[in-house]
Amino acid sequence: MIKNPHGGKNSGIHVTYKHDHNLYGRLVYNMGFFDIFKNEIKTEILELDNIKFQVKIHYENRRNSRASIGARAVHIRIPVFLSPKQKLKEELKLKSWVERKLRENIHKYKIQQPKEYKNNDIIKISDKEYILKISFKNKRSSSGRLINNEIHLSVSSNLSKIRQNKHISKLLSRVIGRERLPKLQKRIITLNQEYFHQNINKISFKNQKTRWGSCSGKGNINISTRLLFAPDDVLEYVCIHELAHLKEMNHSKRFWKLVGDAMPDYKEKLKWLKENGGKCSF
């Protein structure tokens, strides 16, 4: 597995506040009754110096409150069992901490803004261009299909603007990933025959946000569709990385020797991912 340094649990900075739970809170947690509380999430926009930051506030099954500044959003996590007054108090405290940290060096923590798509946009993937055709309809779900070089998306008009954009992003990832999959499968099979000689069960593109790739002991290899925005040699490096894991399910010296034998300049590709990976997204 190769993790995306621009996302996931270890990205950005965070602060945690532990709670002195009241008796009811302790009983609910210890007796395993958290399922009676409904997890919720709300999204807000924080604007500082004309820079917009997406803030996601999670009310969830946890013992403490926590805030983190990641590559894509600010996350505030608050125990779901707190009273409305306690929730508001924790929320304001953590928002204050977030704003203070952002103002210390606002450009350092500048968050990758979600892409916004509109009808007739041109999406370039490697050497191919796709024309985006979006229609909004009164329905519950969204769908997409590829017709020649045009991606036709039918998006629910009953969603908020943020949710519509998420649907568009996922559909683009799915439609383009499906079209580019045969090329990926052919390349991975060729690399495997040349260097690794392992049994491969299934090769897939996945809409992975925090990993560039992953593999399993059953021989399944998943590659993030975000790599479609990367140079071909960087995509090939991740394929080699996952193939090497089929022989060494770790990051030992033996593992890196396998990678180096197949791609001697792999460190250059790692460097590219660290410096530019945040720009690769649907």
137 and 275 both lie in a single domain: yes
Please report the pLDDT score of residue 50 as a whole number.
80
- Let me know whether 86 and 212 are in one domain: no
Same domain for 192 and 128: yes
pLDDT at 185: 98
Whether residue 111 is contained in a domain is answered as: no
pLDDT at 153 (0 to 100): 97
Q: For residues 265 and 236, is the Cβ–Cβ distance under 8 A? A: no
Residue at 43 is within a domain = yes
189 and 76 in a single domain? The answer is no
pLDDT tens digits, one per residue of 28-54: 444 444 455 678 899 898 888 888 888
Confidence at residue 14, expressed as pLDDT on a 0 to 100 scale: 66
pLDDT computed for residue 123 by the predictor: 95
- Supply the pTM of this predicted model: 0.68
* Same structural domain, 90 and 154: no
Same domain, 131 and 259: yes
Evaluate whether residue 196 is within a structural domain.
yes
Q: Is residue 115 part of a domain?
A: no
Q: Do 175 and 67 lie in a common domain? A: no
Question: Is residue 234 situated within a structural domain?
Answer: yes
Report residues of the chain scoring pLDDT below 70.
Answer: 1-37, 110-114
With 0-12 / 13-18 / 19 or more C-beta atoms within 10 angstroms meaning exposed / middle / buried, residue 14 is middle
Domain membership flag for residue 62: yes
State how many domains the chain has: 2
Amino acid at 173: S
